[in-house]
Amino acid sequence: MSQSSYNQVWKEAMSELSYLLAEELPPVPPPPQRDRVVFFQRLATLYVRYVQVFRQLEEAHNMLVHPQKRRLILLLLKGVMGRVLELKYEMVEKEFSEYHYVDDILHALKLTPPALEIPIPYFFVGERSKETEERKTMVLDVLNLADDSKDLDTSMDKVMTEEEAIKIIQMVERAWQGRVRAKLNKEIRFSNFDRRHRAKGAGSAFNELAAIRIQKIWKGYLQRKKTKIARDEEMIFLGMVMDPKYQGPLQAEIDAQAIDASIRVRQKKHEEIYLNAIDAIVNQIREFEWNDMAKTMKNQIRQWFYECRNTTGLFPDYPTVEEGGSAIIFAEKTPQQLVEEIALQEEEAASKSKAKGKDDKKAKEKKDKGKAKGAEDDEEGLTMMPSAFLSELAVANKRYEEVWKTRNESENFTQIHEVELVKEEMRKIVEEEVRLKVDEEMREELAELKLAIDKEKPGKQKGPKKKKGSKGGKKKKKEKDLTPDRTLESLCEELVQQGLLKRAKNFRMQDFLGDYNYLGTTLRQNDIEPMPSLLDVRQVLSLYGILPLGAPEVHEKAPLIKSILLVGPAGVGKSMLVHAICQETGATMFDLSPYSTAGKYPGKPGMAMMLHMVFKVARLLQPSVIWIQDAEKMFYKKVPKDEEQLEPRRLKKDLPKCLKLIKPEDRVLIIGTTKAPQNSELKSMCKMYGKIILIPRPDYGSRYILWEKLIKKQGGKITNALDLTSLTKVTDGYTPGHMVQVISSVVTKDRINDLTKQPLTADDFIVPLAKFEPVLQKEEEALKNWYAKTPLGKRRTKAAAEKEDALLKAKDAKSKKKK
Tens digit of each residue's pLDDT (9 = 90 or more) over 372-383 = 443 444 456 788
Q: Which helix (H) or strand (E) holds 502?
A: strand 501-502
Q: How many helices (H) and strands (E) does the chain have?
A: 31, 6
Q: Is the pLDDT of residue 11 over 60?
A: yes
Say what the pLDDT of residue 417 is. 81
Q: Is the pLDDT of residue 202 over 60?
A: no
Say what the pLDDT of residue 154 is. 47
d(CA 531, CA 777) in angstroms, rounded, equals 12
Instruction: Kindly indicate the confidence band of residue 343, based on its pLDDT and cuts at 50, 70 and 90.
Output: low
Say what the pLDDT of residue 54 is. 92
Q: Is the pLDDT of residue 125 over 50?
A: yes
Say what the pLDDT of residue 194 is. 64
Q: Is the pLDDT of residue 222 over 90?
A: yes
**Which of 107-121, 339-353, 690-704 is predicted least confidently?**
339-353
Q: Is the pLDDT of residue 407 over 80?
A: yes
Say what the pLDDT of residue 349 is. 60
Helix (H, G, I), strand (E, B) or coil at 250: coil
Among 581, 554, 546, 555, residue whose Cα is nearest residue 80: 554
Say what the pLDDT of residue 367 is. 44
Say what the pLDDT of residue 375 is. 40
CA distances 715 to 141, 397, 819, Å, are 33, 48, 72
The winner for highest mean pLDDT among 1-5, 79-83, 660-664 is 79-83
Q: Is the pLDDT of residue 219 over 90?
A: yes
Give the number of other CB atoms < 10 A from CB of residue 698: 27
Among 563, 798, 571, residue whose Cα is nearest residue 693: 563
Q: Which CATH class is domain 700-774?
A: mainly alpha
d(CA 795, CA 787) in angstroms, rounded, equals 11
Say what the pLDDT of residue 640 is. 82
The strand ranges marked E within 510-639 are: 563-567, 588-591, 624-629
Asked if omega into 698 is within 30° of 0 (cis), the reply is no
Instruction: Kindly indicate the confidence band of residue 173, based on its pLDDT and cuts at 50, 70 and 90.
Output: very high
Higher per-residue confidence, 280 vs 361: 280
Instruction: Kindly indicate the confidence band of residue 215, based on its pLDDT and cuts at 50, 70 and 90.
Output: very high
**pLDDT, average across residues 674-680:** 87
d(CA 475, CA 99) in angstroms, rounded, equals 40
β 624-629/501-502 pair status: unpaired
The winner for highest mean pLDDT among 191-195, 309-313, 617-621 is 617-621
Higher per-residue confidence, 615 vs 203: 615
The DSSP output letter for 451 is I
Taking the whole predicted model, whether its pTM rises above 0.85 is answered as no
Helix (H, G, I), strand (E, B) or coil at 338: helix
**pLDDT, average across residues 143-149:** 71
In single-letter form, the type of residue at position 218 comes to W
**Which of 91-100, 482-491, 537-546, 702-711 is predicted least confidently?**
482-491
Rounded to 5°, angle at Cα 132 from 131 and 137: 100
Give the number of other CB atoms < 10 A from CB of residue 165: 10
β 691-694/563-567 pair status: parallel
Tens digit of each residue's pLDDT (9 = 90 or more) over 762-811 = 888 888 888 888 888 888 888 888 888 888 888 888 887 877 777 777 77
Residue pair 113/516 in contact by the 8 Å Cβ criterion: yes
Among 577, 584, 658, 565, residue whose Cα is nearest residue 619: 658
Say what the pLDDT of residue 671 is. 92
Query: Partners of 502 in the beta sheet?
Result: 589
Instruction: Kindly indicate the confidence band of residue 98, based on its pLDDT and cuts at 50, 70 and 90.
Output: confident
Say what the pLDDT of residue 819 is. 59
Per-residue H/E/C for 657-700: HHHHCCCCCCCEEEEEEECCHHHECHHHHHHHCCEEEECCCCCH
Query: Partners of 565 in the beta sheet?
Result: 672, 692
Through-space distance between the first and last CA atoms of the chain, rounded to whole angstroms: 70
Residue pair 51/106 in contact by the 8 Å Cβ criterion: no
Q: Report residue 26: phi and psi, to 5°.
A: -75, 160
What's the chain's average pLDDT? 81
Helix (H, G, I), strand (E, B) or coil at 707: helix
Q: Is the pLDDT of residue 218 over 90?
A: yes
Say what the pLDDT of residue 454 is. 65
Say what the pLDDT of residue 371 is. 42
Residue pair 678/636 in contact by the 8 Å Cβ criterion: no
- Percent of the chain as helix, strand, coil, to the nearest 5: 65, 5, 30
Contacts of 39 (CB under 8 A, 6+ apart): 33, 94, 382
Supply the DSSP string of 133-192, one letter for each residue.
Answer: HHHHHHHHHHHHHHHHHHHHHHHHH----HHHHHHHHHHHHHHHHHHHHHHHHHHHHHHH
Helix (H, G, I), strand (E, B) or coil at 629: strand
Residue pair 101/517 in contact by the 8 Å Cβ criterion: yes
Locate all alpha helices (DSSP H) within 36-161, ordered by sequence: 36-63, 67-95, 103-108, 123-126, 130-157
